[in-house]
Amino acid sequence: LRTNYMYGRMKRSVVHELFALTVCLWIKPGAGPGLGTPFSYAIPGQTNELVLIEWGSNPMQLLINDKQAVSLPLSLSDGKWHHVCVTWATRDGVWEVFQDGQKRGAGRDLSPWEAVRPGGVFILGQEQQDDVGGHFDVTQSFMGQMSGLHLWSRVLTPAEIQSQATCSGHLEGDVLSWTQEEVELHGGLAELQHELCH
Residue 195 lies in a domain: no
Round the average pLDDT of the chain to a whole number and report it. Answer: 89
Is the pLDDT reported for residue 180 higher than 70?
A: no
What is the pLDDT at residue 159?
96
Nearest to 69 by CA among 42, 88, 84: 88
Predicted model pTM: 0.92
Q: Mean pLDDT across the stretch 62-73?
A: 88
What is the pLDDT at residue 45?
86
State how many domains the chain has.
1
Residue 87 lies in a domain: yes
Is the pLDDT reported for residue 195 higher than 60?
A: yes
Comparison of pLDDT for 180 and 112, the residue scoring more: 112
| CATH value at residue 52 | 2.60.120.200
Is the pLDDT reported for residue 17 higher than 60?
A: yes
Domain span at 55: 7-186
Is the pLDDT reported for residue 198 higher than 60?
A: no
The tens digit of pLDDT for each residue in 83-140 reads 999 999 999 999 999 999 999 999 999 999 999 999 999 999 988 766 676 678 888 8
What is the pLDDT at residue 130?
63
The tens digit of pLDDT for each residue in 25-53 reads 999 988 766 788 899 999 988 888 999 99
Banded pLDDT at 14 (limits 50, 70, 90): very high
Comparison of pLDDT for 56 and 94, the residue scoring more: 94
CA 74 to mean position of chain CA atoms = 13
Residue 191 lies in a domain: no
Q: Are strands 7-10 and 20-29 parallel, antiparallel or unpaired?
A: unpaired
